[in-house]
Structure 1
Amino acid sequence: MQKRLDVITIGEAMTMFVATETGDLSHVERFIKRVAGAELNVATGLARLGLNVGWVSRVGNDSFGQYVLDCLKKEGIDSTGVTLDDRYPTGFQVKSKVDNGTDPIVEYFRKGSAASHLSTEDFSPGYFSSARHLHLSGVAAALSASSWALLDHAATNFKAQGKSISFDPNLRPVLWKSEAEMVEKLNHLAFKADWVLPGLKEGTILTGETTPEGIADFYLERGVKAVIVKIGADGAWFKTSASEQGTVPAVHVDNVVDTVGAGDGFAVGVISALLEGKTLQQAVARGNHIGSLAIQVQGDSEGLPTRNQLSE
């Protein structure tokens, strides 16, 4: 019997090799193996906070795929919706080490990966109906036309059941044929969501608006219930369909180690708090807090806290 889940998310996981020394990747000789993927980062963060989380994907029947499955088990993430694919490999990436707070260089080896072959065939009605919330990201939407179709199908299903949906645009322009296609496809998904979480630059690209309120209004006018715009060092700005709005200041960090994963940490904070019945102000504050923890350690998900660490 399928256990009840709080959240299901869909995406790609890759094995990640993180340089242990700074400098050009071509000169680095030692790396640490980790697992990476925007949606998996969110699933990991939510699971560490005690939520029952399911992650839907495809991984290759190879050592990298087994490593991903081992990481899911370690984090307590339900892998019922993961298909072991004998035809296509698990993708991987190589990431540089930086010590000055700048974005690291990341090289991806994901073309033709198992996850890029996700499709509506991976939608199990019984499994998805076991969850009360669906979290989607623009990364999985960009993998392939069939992967986008799966996200669209899942969102339509959840919306028809009156269940909540969150959407993080997580723009990856290099994975799309054109910016116009990216904007059209991601906004199509965003309009089905209850909570949309763009960064300011992302929101400008997707809506043509240049202010947080303009971006929020663009989505609110199309049925979204709440829009939270990440505004960098200034924190985040939010507005709801009930015209509740405000700014939540960022958490100051003295030493930024690795910026990758900050947005995923923010999503973890917002989603977990809203599912607990917190106010949007409280949810955004938690998002800022967890995002600040994520950038103080090397790795995409290593800084995401447990429930006890969050309480501290």
Structure 2
Amino acid sequence: MTTTTQQDLPPLDALTVGEPMALFMALQPGELHAVPDFRRVAAGAELNVATGLARLGLRTGYITRLGNDSFGNFLRGVLAHEGIDARYVVADAAHPTGFMLKTRADDGSDPQIEYFRKGSAASHLSVADAPVGAFPARHLHLTGITPALSPTTRELAFHLAKQARAAGASISFDPNLRPRLWPSPEAMAECINAVAALSDTVLPGLAEGRQLTGRHTAEDIAAFYLERGAKQVVVKLGPEGAYYAQRDGASGIAPGLRVERVVDTVGAGDGFAVGVVSGLLEGFTLAQAAARGNAIGARVVQFPGDADGLPTRAELG
């Protein structure tokens, strides 16, 4: 009888790491305590990106820990349904799977979100959960949420970045700030900027970049990260599009796309990351990848769930 090991499995196009959660979305507007009905879906920035890449046909893996509970079983089903490679998903019988609640904002404003993730299985990720041996993917996608969860997840994020660099894999990084998870703004900026310095492509939002760098313009924010080791930076400008810059001096604006009605802004940045990362993996120029990021981000805000608007290859056009 032949036993299949993780090293025997097909190589991945992309690998990410983070905390997936069950998300309960309100079906009616109003404060969370007064909402009678919710729809359960999957959430988590890194899971959104993995879902988007997998829907575009890229072999995508996900490193996480899930509790042996109903939410964990639900998320295992989501991974299987989306075709996300689960070779690095660990069952954790000692800790629960996190979940969250989100209001419905029909006017396009940012919804209210409450998290229930403290002590979750994913917060107990550590270097022991990293791939053993050769790095299994040609690209690693990281966000600033993973190093914010706990000291061990922080160590894992840096370990994976160094492991990917040593293997010659490319790295993208979305700061995706969660200030409540950090002891101070200074600690957050120090860690986030250190991860960014290990990355090839950095994807901050304009407000995030200002908070992390102390610089005001998209051009100056991009320069901050290029000076510290990034090869290219794309600064998200919301409806105005994105500013992109490369170490070789090339830069420009990828115009935003007009959206008639914004349904839910959550997940737009993850959709943007899907567009940029998939484009780069397919050989796009940075300008072309940023344009795809804008297109997918604009599509995502027209749907209620975090991942509802992430397109398949056919829907991408």
Q: Of the candidates 95, 111, 135, which is equivalent to residue 88 of structure 1?
A: 95
Q: 1:227: Cα distance to partner?
A: 0.3
Q: 1:232: Cα distance to partner?
A: 1.4
Q: TM-score, normalised by structure 1?
A: 0.98
The corresponding residue for 1:235 is 241
Q: 1:124: Cα distance to partner?
A: 2.0
The corresponding residue for 1:65 is 72
CA distance in 2 between counterparts of 1:233 and 1:21 reads 26
1:221-255 CA distance string (max 9 Å, x none): 11210000001121100100000000011010010
Q: Of the candidates 94, 101, 108, which is equivalent to residue 101 of structure 1?
A: 108
1:106-136 CA distance string (max 9 Å, x none): 110000000011110111224x612000000
**In the alignment, does 2:289 pair up with 1:276?**
no
Contact 1:173 1:179 in 2 (8 A): yes
Q: 1:142: Cα distance to partner?
A: 0.7
**In the alignment, does 2:137 pair up with 1:138?**
no
The corresponding residue for 1:247 is 253
CA distance in 2 between counterparts of 1:206 and 1:2 reads 39
Contact 1:10 1:55 in 2 (8 A): yes
The corresponding residue for 1:211 is 217
CA distance in 2 between counterparts of 1:25 and 1:67 reads 23
Equivalences, count: 310
Structure 1 residue runs without a partner (length 5+): none
Q: 1:144: Cα distance to partner?
A: 0.6
CA distance in 1 between counterparts of 2:291 and 2:131 reads 35
The corresponding residue for 1:156 is 162
Contact 1:169 1:197 in 2 (8 A): yes
Report the identity percentage: 55
**In the alignment, does 2:40 pair up with 1:8?**
no
1:137-166 CA distance string (max 9 Å, x none): 001111011101001000001111221000
Contact 1:2 1:130 in 2 (8 A): no
The corresponding residue for 2:3 is none
CA distance in 2 between counterparts of 1:234 and 1:29 reads 37
Q: Secondary structure at the match of 1:108?
A: strand
CA distance in 1 between counterparts of 2:132 and 2:175 reads 25
**In the alignment, does 2:306 pair up with 1:300?**
yes
The corresponding residue for 1:309 is 315
Q: Secondary structure at the match of 1:131?
A: coil
CA distance in 2 between counterparts of 1:189 and 1:13 reads 21
1:282-293, aligned counterparts within 5 Å? 282-293=288-299
**In the alignment, does 2:191 pair up with 1:185?**
yes
The corresponding residue for 1:198 is 204
CA distance in 2 between counterparts of 1:124 and 1:282 reads 32
User: Which aligned runs of 4 or more in structure 1 are off by greater than 3 angstroms?
Assistant: none
1:20-58 CA distance string (max 9 Å, x none): 111111111111110100000000000000000000001
